Amino acid sequence: MSRAERVAALDAWLTGLLADAVAGTPPPRQRRGGSPPRRGTDGLALVAVGSLGRREMPPYGDLDLVLVHEGRPEIAALADALWYPVWDTGLRLDHSVRSIPEAVSVASTDVKAGLGLLDARLVAGDADLAARLRTATLASWRQAASRLLPQLRDLRRARARQVGELAFLLEPDLKEAYGGLREGQVLRAAAAAQLADEPSAEVEEAYAFLLDVRDELRRRAGRPVDVLVRQEQRPVAAALGLADEDALLREVSLAGRKLAFVADETWRRVESSLVRRPRGRYRRVRREPLAEGVVRQGDEVVLAQGAKPAADPGLLLRAAAAAARADLLLSPYTLKVLAVHSPPVPEPWPAEVRWSFLRLLASGRSAVAVLEQLDQEGLLSRLLPEWDSVRSLPQRHPWHRYTVDRHLVEAAAAAAELTRDVDRPDLLLVAALLHDIGKGWPGDHSVVGEPVAAAIGARMGFSEPDVATLATLVRHHLLLPDTATRRDIDDAATVDRVAATIGNDPAVLQLLHALAQADGAATSTSAWSPWKAHLVAALVARVQTKLGSAPSAAPEPVLSPTQPQVTAAPLDVAGGAVTVGVEDVADGQQVTIGAPDRAGLLSILAGVLALNQLDVRAAKMSIEAGYATGVFAVRPRFGRPPVPEILADAVRAALEGTLPLVDRLRQREADYQQGGVRTAPPRISWHDSEVSGADTGIVEVRAADRAGLLYRLTAALASEGLDVTSARIETLGGDAVDSFYVCNPSGTPVDDGQRRRVEAALVEATRGATPPVAVDTPG
């Protein structure tokens, strides 16, 4: 059933209910000398507000009804006769009974009620009464706009902070997220107050699409729901004739961005209209020159009187750069003029055009809103045709908070803060804007994006060496963070591989370091934590030393068995003593544990740390004269720093067999089990060529994260006779990416047969199995 059919059916049903209510409710007796009682629906109107009033009633929607009356003493009985049949059907009903003065009084003091009454539509009854209600409430809304609209603005901004922006959510709230259906209603309210234009056809089209998505979502869910959850996205997309869930999210994002963009502009207009200005017959508007053909007029940027956009290819970017540098926006009219009259930019770009573009990017945060203006008018895609491939493209990774295109803009803004740290800030800014451009095509986005970035750089007029550098930056923008978090950066082979990958070029290393920081900052705090920043900086220092572009003194190791700040008293066990020390480091603590060496010791220590709710990020083991020292970089899961005495006691109990690690970890996992755990199979790969020494290999495990995973993985490796010398642990959203440096105690390489057994054991460990080597008895 379509929305129109649903509304027509409800109107017909409600019309019948009102007729039955009137027929079944006897009028009061006429008082002597008084006016005769009203008959039928004279002076009585059933008015729909909300979604039914707007003819947008979704499946399982609420009925918002107002019974308007004028001189009907029996109104209470009429209302009861009308509402009870509605309640009997199980429909949710929001109802009120008002006279016109009462409705006007409520609308002038309550912003939500006033907003709802703007949608008032006669369903049945006295049409003249309903028309007078609408006229009166509209006049009241306009009169109270200076007081009510700021309240409405604050309500929407508070809701946006709570729910987020529709355009950038993987499970968006179609109604309440900023840029959702509420924005369409707010735009109409501002127009009703005569403080903004009526929503354009593009806005109405975006709004109608979101209505279609919500209707289909509710039909699928069979209940009143407005959040487009992941499991419903594919069937909703199919019902709407879209290719897949990504296509659906992209269209939702585009609609949300359009509504949010117009809402932002509308609020600026409303706020400007509500500002009290000095009285005067003539008021001159100050015009301040910003660049050739560009001036500031009030709080926005416009074209100068003598500007000729049709004959000036550089005017578009010159105006955009001037606006961003002044922390202003281009006026809507100026945007329209530039969109219609700006000629294509010559290729390669003239130096002045490229300089303006770089000046725009270098403006940092203030450039984000200006670039969004260019994007909404189609001007950004005109400058960079490849932009269309990533425009509003969703990223299905929990650590990404933006669509691909917005992430690129945010990365460029973050890079603007780092331009003084590099010798070529121009290449850094452009690389930040293009580093994920390959996500618009199939394949590895770094590989695919390399030629795309090279083509764009050449079109922009960069020299061949600069184009090659841009391509390298895009191709290897993940090199430093991936290597730092998944490889032992104290291993000379790791440093050699990074240096060889970048062509032993210190300038490229410098740019990649800044690009990694900008990329991480534009992703999320979980993607670029102080710990990761520390690891990347340490890797860069080692590569700089290798390339001779830094002092030759060896950088400090990431995990250093130095004297800890807090140390527990030694506890004796069979074969030696257990010592535990804790030291504060970047974004967490370093825990140093000393214990007698035995098979599976690393697994036991990892299990103790997991029981104490400590997430391990890196680990390193060293053995001397039968005594092992484990150094762990940890972060408390719930903010409580590790206590050395508690850890030492737990390690001793585990070594003596009095602490049942397997059972305790299984219970801990059950206590913190979350719904919707991913069931994708783990990926296990070997990277022997990236490590020094023929007897050592790297095995990398990618799997769904779970409590005690590191404990089980290290136990699996020990069960197959492998020693773990160091480990790098990274958690990205719900995924764990753990890399282990392993070797046979005998010094022999890991052969193919042993690899197959190790892989099988690791797969079982990711499913929750604990190999028999990690027993709870000493041995």
User: What's the confidence (pLDDT) of residue 776?
Assistant: 41
Share of the chain above pLDDT 90, in %: 66
Which ranges constitute the DSSP H helices of 170-244?
Answer: 181-192, 201-221, 230-239
Indicate if the pLDDT at residue 290 is higher than 70: yes
Indicate if the pLDDT at residue 777 is higher than 80: no
**Which of 679, 554, 662 has the alpha carbon at shortest distance from 600?**
662
User: What's the confidence (pLDDT) of residue 558?
Assistant: 72
User: What's the confidence (pLDDT) of residue 53?
Assistant: 94
Q: Which of 50-64, 552-566, 582-596 has the lowest mean pLDDT?
A: 552-566
Report pLDDT digits (tens) over 599-634: 889 999 999 999 998 988 888 888 888 899 999 988
Report pLDDT digits (tens) over 182-213: 999 999 999 999 888 999 999 999 999 999 99
Report pLDDT digits (tens) over 86-103: 999 989 999 999 999 999
Q: Please compute the mean of the pLDDT values over residues 350-364 and round it to a whole number.
A: 95
Going by C-beta distance under 8 Å and a sequence separation of 6 or more, which residues neighbour residue 502? Answer: 472, 476, 479, 508, 509, 512, 543
Report pLDDT digits (tens) over 547-588: 987 655 556 677 776 666 777 778 777 778 899 999 988 778
Q: Please compute the mean of the pLDDT values over residues 697-722 and round it to a whole number.
A: 90
User: What's the confidence (pLDDT) of residue 567?
Assistant: 76
With bands split at pLDDT 50, 70 and 90, how would you rate the model's confidence at 29?
low
Per the model's pLDDT, the better-predicted residue between 551 and 443 turns out to be 443
User: What's the confidence (pLDDT) of residue 159?
Assistant: 87
Per the model's pLDDT, the better-predicted residue between 701 and 525 turns out to be 701
User: What's the confidence (pLDDT) of residue 556?
Assistant: 65
Phi-psi region of 531 (alpha: psi -120 to 50; beta: other; left: phi over 0): alpha
User: What's the confidence (pLDDT) of residue 666?
Assistant: 84
Greatest mean pLDDT range, 613-617, 643-647, 724-728: 643-647
Helix 709-719 × helix 752-766 angle, to 10°? 150
The whole-angstrom separation of Cα 205 and Cα 258 is: 10
The whole-angstrom separation of Cα 203 and Cα 187 is: 9
User: What's the confidence (pLDDT) of residue 626?
Assistant: 87
Domains (ranges, CATH) in the chain? 3-26+39-143 (3.30.460.10), 147-273 (1.20.120.330), 384-547 (1.10.3210), 566-766 (3.30.70.260)
C-alpha dihedral, 760 to 763 to 765 to 771, nearest 10° = -10
User: What's the confidence (pLDDT) of residue 676?
Assistant: 42
C-alpha angle 686-690-694 in degrees, rounded to nearest 5: 85
Q: Please compute the mean of the pLDDT values over residues 64-82 and round it to a whole number.
A: 90
The whole-angstrom separation of Cα 351 and Cα 120 is: 58
Q: Please compute the mean of the pLDDT values over residues 719-723 and round it to a whole number.
A: 91
User: What's the confidence (pLDDT) of residue 691?
Assistant: 80
The whole-angstrom separation of Cα 428 and Cα 692 is: 33
The tokens for 733 are 């959203």
The whole-angstrom separation of Cα 22 and Cα 46 is: 12
User: What's the confidence (pLDDT) of residue 317?
Assistant: 97
Indicate if the pLDDT at residue 674 is higher than 50: no
Q: Please compute the mean of the pLDDT values over residues 407-427 and round it to a whole number.
A: 95
Report pLDDT digits (tens) over 166-178: 999 889 999 999 9
Q: Please compute the mean of the pLDDT values over residues 501-518 and round it to a whole number.
A: 96
Report pLDDT digits (tens) over 127-152: 999 999 999 999 999 999 889 999 99
pTM of this structure: 0.84
The helix/strand/coil state of 312 is: coil
Which ranges constitute the DSSP H helices of 476-622?
Answer: 479-486, 492-501, 506-523, 530-547, 601-611
Q: Which of 122-126, 526-530, 595-599 has the lowest mean pLDDT?
A: 526-530
